[in-house]
Amino acid sequence: MAKIIAGIGCSHVPAVGAASDHGKTEDGYWTPLFAALPAARKWIKDLAPDVLILVYNDHASAFSLELIPTFAIGVAQWFENADEGYGRRQIPNVEGHPELAWHITESCILDGFDLTIANKMDVDHGCSVPLTVFFGEPAAWPVKVIPICVNVIQYPPPTARRCYDLGKAIRKAVEEYDGELKVAIAGTGGMSHQLQGERSGVINTEFDVNYLDNLRDNNDVNRDRSHLEYIREAGSEGIELVMWQIMRGAMNEKVVEKFRKYHVASSNTAFGVICFENAPEEKSAAEIKAMKEPVLVEYANALGITAHVNDLKKDTLEKVLSKLGYS
């Protein structure tokens, strides 16, 4: 059985890719963002997923206004980086996982999500920038990628609720896959930004931070918001945040936050990255008290508590019990 082991929310601002490609990551403007990334990169490296399901929107690169699939899944062996008007980025092409992609396609369609099948699809900054954020500048990406493209360009996009439900269908498909694979899933885009019109430049930090907090603990709020609320609060391109709901739907009800960075501004956009793992199984207070120390430390770490075998066992135990509301 394949398993979803990690969930990521990540902005996909094209200038972040350009900063990396042109050696500008330490030039002052970009330092606050890039200086935070090693912890996220270590987290994903340690988890070593085999496949990353990467949810993004095409920005008129593979598709145009002539053809707008609401949800499209890439089932190809390879995806080339798109030329978005200034040449293709000189970064590795993206290797797919056709077998898992076809399995997800079949399972989701039979479950009522009529995905468009893309046998050929160039991927743009929506896909490549999150890869840069998490993997830097390798000779080849260390993970296979299943790109899932969502229409958030032409009204009406899918609702946040529909995206969340698709995430659940994807998770079911992954868990029914006959093969041992560690799978991570990323929802990209956002956070608040508007690139055109009267409100061009909109940033709403309060909304963004609430979105991140709710994504972890109280996601019904994000899932049940209307398009109008997303656009009013987060700007016209803030609607991209509905794509993070596909990731959230694929994770457990309870998740542990492993990394977060929120930075204003990157280009015209509030840049957000958040990393989740599924929360460990719930245990009773008695079961926790009976744990041997190394197991307790591992359990504490899985709950997001920094604990080490050299700490006093009593302290770790107290932290775990209090985190779970037992004391």
- Return residues touching Fe ion (CB under 5 A): 189
Block residue for tokens 């958030």: 152
- Give the strand order in the sheet containing 144-150: 116-118, 71-74, 144-150, 51-56, 182-188, 3-10, 269-278, 255-266
14 binds, among Fe ion, ligand DHB, none (CB under 5 to 8 A by kind): ligand DHB
CA distance 127 to 170: 18
Say whether 293 sits in a helix, a strand or coil.
helix
CA distance 29 to 8: 24
Does residue 173 belong to the site contacting ligand DHB (CB under 6 A)?
no
**Which of 222, 269, 278, 316: binder of ligand DHB (CB under 6 A)?**
269
Per-residue x/- track, 9-28, ligand DHB (CB under 6 A) = ---xxxx-------------
269 binds, among Fe ion, ligand DHB, none (CB under 5 to 8 A by kind): ligand DHB
CB of 2 to Fe ion, least distance (A): 28
**Residue number with the smallest Cβ distance to Fe ion:** 189
Q: Is 59 a catalytic residue?
A: no
Q: Is 125 a catalytic residue?
A: yes
Per-residue x/- track, 190-229, ligand DHB (CB under 6 A) = ---x-x----------------------------------
CA distance 85 to 59: 12
**Which of 187, 189, 235, 272: binder of ligand DHB (CB under 6 A)?**
189
CA nearest 278: which of 162, 185, 200? 185
Q: From the candidates 12, 59, 193, 227, give the one annotated as an active-site residue.
A: 193
CA distance 107 to 169: 8
CB of 10 to ligand DHB, least distance (A): 10
Terminal-residue alpha carbon distance, the chain: 37
Token pair recorded at residue 325: 């509301």
Q: From the candidates 12, 59, 103, 125, give the one annotated as an active-site residue.
A: 125
User: Of 147 and 189, which CB lies nearer to Fe ion in the complex structure?
Assistant: 189
Q: Answer yes or no: are the C-beta atoms of 122 and 80 closer than 8 Å.
A: yes
Q: Which stretch binds ligand DHB (CB under 6 A): 133-141, 179-187, 189-197, 314-322?
A: 189-197
Block residue for tokens 């439900």: 165
Site for ligand DHB in 59-78 (CB under 6 A): 59
Q: Answer yes or no: are the C-beta atoms of 219 and 165 closer than 8 Å.
A: no
Q: Answer yes or no: are the C-beta atoms of 191 and 211 closer than 8 Å.
A: yes
110 binds, among ligand DHB, Fe ion, none (CB under 5 to 8 A by kind): none
Q: CB neighbours (10 Å) of residue 325? A: 7
CB of 240 to ligand DHB, least distance (A): 6
* Active-site residue list: 125, 193
Binding site for ligand DHB (CB under 6 A): 12-15, 59, 189, 193, 195, 237, 240, 267-269
